[in-house]
Structure formats: structure tokens, C-alpha cells
Structure 1
Amino acid sequence: MRWRSVVEFEHAGTRTHVHRLGPDTDQQHVLVHGIGMGRHYLTPLAESLAGSAGVHVLELPGFGDAPTPDEPLTVEQLAAVVVAYVRRTGMTRPVLVGHSMGAQVVVEAALQGPDVVGPVVAVAGVVDPGARSAGRQGMRMLADLFVETPSTVAALVRDWLRTGPRRYLETVPLMLAYPTEEAVARLPVPLLVVRGDRDPVAPHDWADQLARLAPDGRLVEVPGAHAVMFTRPDEVAEQIVLHGLRGATAAGEDVAGEDVAGTVR
């Protein structure tokens, strides 16, 4: 796949790589990777979304090919980068899509920039209070590798190696410290929670809790494990597009009369 453009965005002394795909339509999507990751494993989802809307895949400071700052950035600092990018580009309330730790980042971005941010999508969001430790998260990530497809594991490992173990380990405490459940309870925009039905990192009860804590939240489960945006990109993209349309309607109004929780099969 050839990206339409690749730019380097600077904010607060840090640099972010942004990979663009798709048309300059009214609807735009900003994709944010998880801990230790980069753009590669988000490519299938970006391609699916780019058929009808613009896509901006961010590689945040210290991840992927983006330059590494001296100190790892907190979730709040990473979110500030996302908000600054949205403001700089002049996008009109883009849909923010975050995976794993990226879900924390987009939720926080919506809190920091309620005037510019549109609906939020949290794919395999963390951190489940039942596993709020580095050891427990590590065990769940290890279990996930046994249920992902070989191509998914290859994509994940490729991005992890680009980030490096040092920055990954430095970021883990910052991810664990962010109170996701408290943040979603204050969201000023609609939230869509997406998880794979075999995901050991973001179990059903935790995902359901996030959706119910949000003032306007829904849960959708798709077949797959942690990286459903890689293994089932079309299904995930369809839900994201519906969520974007729903976010443009009056508060509390559902698209096609969907319930708070739904399942894609």
C-alpha cells in the first residue's frame, strides 16, 4: 500500500510521524496505536476506512519511526499531541480511534479537546482493574500471542522491535497509572468500545464496564483476539463509520436502533 502522504508533526519539542490515506472528505479518522506499536498493524483498518473517508495514522513520539524523546510521554502528554495535530490540520471533529493504550490516549484527547474532537472508538481498551500490574498485563499479552494469527503476530513483533524494549518498559507504568474508567465517565462525546471475542487482554466484563460507564457508550464484539483491526478490518471499519454517523445525530439517538451492546458475527 502507498500512503498518500507522510508528514512529520512537531509539538512541545517532540515529533510525530503521520501517514495519510484516503480522500479529503468531511469525515476524517485519526488512528492511534497501542503501547510499543506503530503504523504497520493499523494498515488493514486504514485501508478499509480510506475507501470512503480520510485517515491519519499517527506514530507518536518514541514509537514506530517517530524520534524518541529523552523521557517517555504520559498518556496525558500523548493526548495533547493528538489534540494539537487535530487543531493544526483544521479537521472538523474527526473520529478518534485508539487501540490498547491508544484507547486511553484518544479518550484523554476527547477530554482535553472537546471543541475539536468527534466520537471516540476504544479498541481493546486497557487497563482492566483486575490486571492493573505489569506482571498481569504481561501474562495476558503472552496469552494473546497464542490466539492471534501468525500474520498478526508478525505485524505486532515488527512494530515492537522498531520501538525497542527499553521504551516499551518505560511506558508500561504510565499506561497502568492512567485511570481509564474514571476518564470515560467524563467523556463529552459518544464512545464505541470494540473488542475481539477471544481477547484475553480486554475481557468482556471490562469492555462492558467501559461502555456502561460512558455517558453515551456502546460495546461491539467481533470474532478475533486483541488485534481485531488487523484480522477483521472491514467489520471494525463498518462499526467505526456507523459510530461516526451516530455521533453526528442528536445525543442518545442510535443508528439503526442498535442497543447499548451489540455483536458482529
Structure 2
Amino acid sequence: MVEIASTELGRKDAPCVVFAHGWARSHADFIAIAELIAPHARCVLLDLPGFGDSPRPDGTWGTQEYADCLRAHLNGMRVSDYIWVGHSFGARVGLRLAAMPDSPIKALVLAGAAGVKRPVPKWKQIKGSWRSREFKRKKAQAVDEAALIALEREYGSPDYVQSRDLGLRDIFVKTVQEDQSDAVGAITCPTTLIYGGKDTETPPEVGKILHRLISNSAYIECPEFDHLSILTRGRHQIAMVLKEQLVGGHA
């Protein structure tokens, strides 16, 4: 079992809110939001395995392994009923946890959530296939590691490139290839999906797909925010949703 680093804010006797960050980020992304709801909640801010102060898993984990590990960790903290707040990769894990038959999650609040595939226009499929072939052709001709890294920077996404430096390339590839479309329909807890209108990493289209698939869900779009500013300039929107859950007694 991986040792999970975490930080706590708020009241020990209050309902618990668990925060799970995005890829290559840490619990620090959620400190400002946790401070806003601390009078009403016990806030547990996680460093997911492989990020922040938590060591990487021994094997090639997907979101199911992350979900199982984090559930066991939280059980060890005597936390069984909680609101899960996830951003991007942390939302992928939250979706997996919430879809379990005996899920410990009382409500989901997800910002820039990933986890389902969106339709790709034919022209983009053709362009993507061409780029993939070009990358593989040039990769086979690379004379050293420096040339290979340069190719990755030319053809790969920023997260794909960074996954090499993090030593998490295997986990990155496995998780981004997952599609939870068939699983998220089992989620019954109240789910709020919050997206930035300017998010190009997990665009609003992804949120609308999740909204259609999760019956007890609400969709909120903030036009002026992108993938990261939804957590900073958009923190009050997320905090407002959480306060409604906590003070209103819905969680």
C-alpha cells in the first residue's frame, strides 16, 4: 500500500470533504477553496500517489487502483461518508469511486472532470492518425534520448511530455486511454460538474457528456475560466456549491 500524504483544515467534528488534485499537481491547488469552507467541514487534501509528497505506485495503476488505494487510506482515517471534490485526474478517480456499488461518496463536486471520450470529427481523426504515424517513423530514426525527447515535445501533449520527467509515463498512458462512459451511469449520488468555458484540456463538451450519463447531476459552465483558473478565480463558485451541500444538509 502506498503511503498517502495529506493535509487537513477545518473542524474535526464536521462533515468531511476530500480534495483530489489534477495530473502533476498537488493538494496545494485546493487550499484556497478548503479555507473558504473550513468553518463548515473537515477538509482532507490529498497528494495522489506519484504526486506531491506521495510516492509513486509500484505498478502501472489505472483509476481503479487509485480508487481502491485512496478508499483504503480514508477508511484508515475513519472517514467513510464524504463529499469528493476532484479536478481533472482527481475527478477521474472520484467517478470511479462513486460508481462502486457500496460507494463511500455522498456527493461529487468535479471541476474540469476527465474520464469519458468525446466525439472526434473525421478530419481530426485523420490528422491525428497522420501525426501518430509521423511520430512513430521519426521515433524509429532517433539517434539518442535527446532526439527522442525533442520529438515528444513536438508531437506530444504537455502532460505526456511531463510524464517522462515524473517517471509516470506508464500510468499516464493507461489512465488517459480509459473511458468510463459505461461505468458512470451507476453513480447515484448528487453530482455537480463545473467547467471553464475556455478550458481546452477538458472542454465543456466533456462535462455535457457526463451530465447526460449521470442522472443525478447538475452542469455549471463558467465562460471566462480555463483548466486551472477554474480553481483560482473560480474558487468561489466551487465553494458556493460545497457550502450548499454542507449547510443545506444534502451531503
Q: Report the counterpart of residue 238 of structure 1 in structure 2.
A: 240
Residues 1:76 and 2:78 are matched in the alignment: no
* Partner Cα separation in structure 2 for residue 48 and residue 168 of structure 1: 33
* Partner Cα separation in structure 2 for residue 212 and residue 129 of structure 1: 12
Q: Report the counterpart of residue 260 of structure 1 in structure 2.
A: none
Residues 1:48 and 2:49 are matched in the alignment: no
Q: State whether residues 26 and 92 of structure 1, in contact with CA within 8 Å, keep that contact through their aligned partners in structure 2.
A: no
* Partner Cα separation in structure 2 for residue 175 and residue 247 of structure 1: 34
Distance 1:186-1:47 versus aligned 2 partners, 3 A rule? same
* Partner Cα separation in structure 2 for residue 220 and residue 181 of structure 1: 20
Q: State whether residues 45 and 236 of structure 1, in contact with CA within 8 Å, keep that contact through their aligned partners in structure 2.
A: yes
Query: Alignment length, in residue pairs?
Result: 218
- Higher radius of gyration, 1 or 2: 2
Q: Report the counterpart of residue 118 of structure 1 in structure 2.
A: 106
* Partner Cα separation in structure 1 for residue 239 and residue 10 of structure 2: 14
Q: State whether residues 104 and 178 of structure 1, in contact with CA within 8 Å, keep that contact through their aligned partners in structure 2.
A: no
Q: Report the counterpart of residue 167 of structure 1 in structure 2.
A: 167
Give the drift of 1:129.
Answer: 2.5
Distance 1:174-1:49 versus aligned 2 partners, 3 A rule? farther
Counterpart secondary structure, 2:8: strand
Q: State whether residues 195 and 221 of structure 1, in contact with CA within 8 Å, keep that contact through their aligned partners in structure 2.
A: yes
Give the drift of 1:225.
Answer: 0.8
Residues 1:206 and 2:195 are matched in the alignment: no
Q: Report the counterpart of residue 250 of structure 2 in structure 1.
A: 248
Q: Report the counterpart of residue 229 of structure 1 in structure 2.
A: 231
Q: Report the counterpart of residue 144 of structure 2 in structure 1.
A: none
Q: Report the counterpart of residue 181 of structure 1 in structure 2.
A: 181
Q: State whether residues 185 and 215 of structure 1, in contact with CA within 8 Å, keep that contact through their aligned partners in structure 2.
A: yes
For 1:36, give the aligned amino acid.
Answer: A
Q: Report the counterpart of residue 108 of structure 1 in structure 2.
A: 96
* CA deviation vs aligned residue, 1:200-226 (integer Å, no higher than 9, x gap): 122222211201210211111224111
Superposed, which structure 2 residues align to 1:21-40 within 5 Å? 21-40=9-28
Q: Report the counterpart of residue 99 of structure 1 in structure 2.
A: 87
* CA deviation vs aligned residue, 1:78-109 (integer Å, no higher than 9, x gap): 11122113322223521001110111101111
TM-score normalized with structure 2 length = 0.75
TM-score normalized with structure 1 length = 0.71
